[in-house]
Chains A and B, each alone.
Chain A
């Protein structure tokens, strides 16, 4: 069965620090990959997605993620975080063969100190 692991449950950074959140998945076939973000008091929003093509994906607000197929990873990065990036981040996977179910990781709570 598919699964998604986010190893960092809580991350605390100072403003301007660089961010990398890990995401690993287990599935042998072709997948689509997503990062969602939930800001305090708001709904889950799509940050970026990978379906095919360039494995380095750029999303909103300066975030990017790199799909490394050999490592089954899709880590999220941002060179310089801001206080407003404080949020919970979820990695998700679904089979590229057209299934609709997303498998989500347990999330990473990021707190950025001003």
Chain B
């Protein structure tokens, strides 16, 4: 598509529920990134895909967080058994390569109540 598309735009969920956040990158972008941004902070790296391969997941805070990109295009970030501290803006970005600058999506604002 023309830009990076993320859905849903807003998600309110009850503590303990699982959530899945979707990212549809720019067509042809091989690199896809997930970042998390807490209120008053800058985005923090979560994970990175090159095509369908998850090259780095060192930023995932714990094993409740996982991500996949099975066909090298759309990616899903899943948070299991959500906790209030998971509330944040989750940002997806894509790029043509590692040093071409990111294009970000609009983000998903997750609120865990």
- Chain A residues in contact with chain B, CB under 8 A? 4, 32, 34, 36, 42-46, 49, 51, 90, 92, 94, 96, 98-107
Is there an interface contact between A104 and B48, defined as CB atoms closer than 8 Å?
no
Residues on the B chain within 8 Å of A94, using CB: 99
Is there an interface contact between A100 and B40, defined as CB atoms closer than 8 Å?
no
A8 to chain B minimum Cβ distance, whole angstroms, is: 14
Q: What bracket does the count of chain B residues touching chain A fall in?
A: 20 to 34
Q: Given contacts A42-B106, A44-B91, A100-B48, are A106 and B42 in contact (CB under 8 A)? A: yes
Name the 3 nearest CB pairs between A and B, nearest first.
A104-B42, A44-B104, A100-B98
Choose one: B42, B44, B101, B106; the contact of A43 (CB below 8 Å): B106
Count CB-based A-B contacts (< 8 Å). 56
Is there an interface contact between A45 and B104, defined as CB atoms closer than 8 Å?
yes
B108 to chain A minimum Cβ distance, whole angstroms, is: 11
Residues on the A chain within 8 Å of B18, using CB: none
Is there an interface contact between B42 and A46, defined as CB atoms closer than 8 Å?
no
Is there an interface contact between A44 and B43, defined as CB atoms closer than 8 Å?
yes
Is there an interface contact between A104 and B43, defined as CB atoms closer than 8 Å?
yes
Question: What are 20 contact pairs spanning A and B, CB under 8 A?
Answer: A32-B99, A43-B104, A43-B107, A44-B43, A44-B104, A46-B102, A49-B101, A94-B99, A96-B99, A98-B99, A100-B31, A100-B95, A101-B45, A101-B59, A102-B45, A104-B42, A104-B44, A105-B42, A107-B40, A107-B41
